[in-house]
Structures are given as C-alpha cells and as structure tokens.
Structure 1
Amino acid sequence: MPVLAVPPVPLVPAVPAVPAVPAVPAVPAVPAVPAVPAVPAVPAVPAVPAVPATEAATAAAIEPRFSWPLSPVPQVTRPFEPPATPYGPGHRGVDLAAAPGQQVLAAGTGVVVFAGQVAGQGVVSVDHDGGLRTTYEPVSPTVPIGTQVFIGQPIATVNPGHPGCTVAACLHWGVRRGEEYLNPLALIRTESVIRLKPWTPP
C-alpha cells in the first residue's frame, strides 16, 4: 500500500515583542515643612500690690478747711485710730477735753442734717462741701435740722459721760466722707499771718 506524503505544517509567525513600558518618572520629594517656631511664653502679670491702709488714708487727704470745734484749742485726750476694716475696731474720730456745758462750734460752714439722740447720746451732724460730714457728741443741740451754719458758730453744748473720757467732759469729733472716716486733726487749717512791708512811693 503506498504511503501518503504529509504536507509540511506552515510555521506560526512569531508574535511581535511587546514594546517596553516607559519607566514612570520618579515623583519629586516633597520639601520638608519648616518647623513652626515655638510661641514664647506670655510673662505672668504681676499681682497688684495691696495699698496699705495708711497710704490709702494719705491718698484720701484733702485740703485742710476746718477749725477747732472748741475754744480755746483743747487737749486731745484720745487720737484718731482708723479701723483696719469698715466694721473693725478703732476710734473713728478724736476726743477733746471740754467742760460740761461748754459751747460746741461748727468746724466748718455747712447745713445741719441731724440734731437728736443716738443710743441715748445727743448728736449733731453737719454736711459740708466736698461730701464731708462732721459729727459732734455727746451734746445738747442748740440748732435744728436744716439750719445753715458758719464756721465757728455755736451749734450745741457739751454733755459729760462720753465713754472712756478721763476728764470732766469730752467732745467726740468725727469726720467722714461717704463711708470713709478721716482724721479730723489732719483737716484743721492753720492760720498764717502775712505781713506786708509799708509801700514807699517812688
């Protein structure tokens, strides 16, 4: 039996090479963010120093304007002792040696705003310019409320029996501005005598 010749198998064409993928360019590095400078610490606010009571009293000083409420000039038997707190202990005025029945004089020009009894003691209070009020006790008032008085004018007479008084009678004299008590002695004006040289015509 004759052998059939097998035709040759055609060659498969070669697959073209896949072109190379171009390399992805490198991403540039992100520059480093500069460090935020530290915020300097805020210096502590210094505490406001407390004003001592004596300095406060000095700051509250006003121009002297009053005269002595007794004549002649009396002896001070107890001085002014300002309290450390509004309701603390102290002596909110001065005690002046007097004689029972001695006239009490207005320390300054003003208006009588009280003339009567307080806790069994006679009291006179006078309002003055600048928000000042003077108080006199223990006394027997001789002027009614609403009276305009002038410096040196009699407004009462002294009664004996003031607590702590070491003489026959004492006048307690106080001065305050609003709720602040002031030293009455610091508000007494001193008189000065001015002498003028005789004028000689040219």
Structure 2
Amino acid sequence: MTLSAASAALLDNQADAQPTPEQPGRLAWPLTPRPHVTRNFEPPATPFGPGHRGVDLEAAAGQQVLAADMGVVIFAGQVAGQGVVALDHDGGLHTTYLPIAPAVAPGDQIYRGQPLGTATPGHPGCPTAACLHWGARRGTEYIDPLALVGDPSRVRLKPWAEGP
C-alpha cells in the first residue's frame, strides 16, 4: 500500500495542526516553575452536585499567575470576596484563576504566558500559604486542566514497506 503525494501532504498538514483542546499541550502551566498540585480535579456527578471543578496549585503569595493560553478576559474582579480572572479561548474553552489580584480587565486580549495578576492567600482548604485554583470547562462541562497540559505531540507517518 502506498500513499499518493497529495494524500501524504494532506496527512502531514494535519499533523502540523494545533492540538485540539482534548489533546495534551493545549494549555501551559499558569505558574512557573511547574507547581505542586495540592488538590486534584473531582468532576461533579450532576451539574450542581459536589465536586472540585478544577485543581489547586501551590503558589507563593504575590507570585505571578500566567494565562494558560491566548484568549480574551471575560471577567476580572471579586466574587465572594476573592479575586477571579476568567478567560475565553478558541474552541469554546474557558479557564478561571482564583484567588488572584487581577492585573487585567474585561475585554483585554491575552497571549499565552501573559501575567494575569498575582496569587493571593485565602483559598479555602489550601494546605500552604497560598494556592491557585485553576479551572477549565467547555460549555457546561468541567474539564481537568491537568489533562490539557503537556508538550504537544507530533505525528509522522513513515512509508509503508513493500511486501516480499
């Protein structure tokens, strides 16, 4: 079996495409260096049921919080006494960061790795001085943001060996 030059080019172009949100590498870590996870994602069984709709990352008070991907700020302000920043990304992905002292405003265009503000203490259940709660969702479905972090993989097709 052989591939035509056009088929091979099409497959190669698809391999060069940006990863979809379900693939590792879509998001970058919002803290640097790579933080320790203090609490993992626990999806709720029902839309309003109990769970942990994100991950908690160990942070230092005043540490810069970085955008996990390019997008637009849709909220930057206080919710229940805590600072929150929310971003919309291509493909319907939405990320949130809290507690944070925002340094951005709604409508701001954000690039991947851009500082959004600084981590603040006060996240409930945090075992350290400060934790960043980082959430992700697509529509109404919450997604484990850790499943979206990593190095994007690149697929390469190798020529099919001819039979004997």
What TM-score, normalized by structure 2, do the two folds share? Answer: 0.78
Aligned equivalents of 1:67, 1:152: Cα separation in 2: 7
> Unaligned stretches of 5+ in structure 1?
1-60, 193-202
1:85 aligns to what?
46
Please list the CA deviations of residues 23-46 of structure 1 after superposition, one character each: whole Å capped at 9, or x if unmatched: xxxxxxxxxxxxxxxxxxxxxxxx
Q: How many angstroms does 1:62 deviate by?
A: 1.3
Question: RMSD value over aligned CA atoms?
Answer: 1.4
Q: How many angstroms does 1:189 deviate by?
A: 2.6
Higher strand share: 2
Kindly indicate whether residue 17 of structure 2 is the aligned counterpart of residue 62 of structure 1: no
Kindly indicate whether residue 87 of structure 2 is the aligned counterpart of residue 126 of structure 1: yes
Please list the CA deviations of residues 132-184 of structure 1 after superposition, one character each: whole Å capped at 9, or x if unmatched: 10000000000111111111110110010100000110000000111110000
Of 59, 63, 82 in structure 2, the residue corresponding to residue 98 of structure 1 is: 59
> Unaligned stretches of 5+ in structure 2?
1-20, 154-164
Contact 2:22/2:148 (8 A) holds in 1: yes
Say which SS state the counterpart of residue 147 (structure 2) adopts: helix
Matched positions, count: 133
1:111 aligns to what?
72
Higher helix share: 2
Contact 2:23/2:152 (8 A) holds in 1: no
1:172 aligns to what?
133
Report 1:45-60 matches (<5 A): none
Q: How many angstroms does 1:107 deviate by?
A: 0.2
Larger radius of gyration: 1
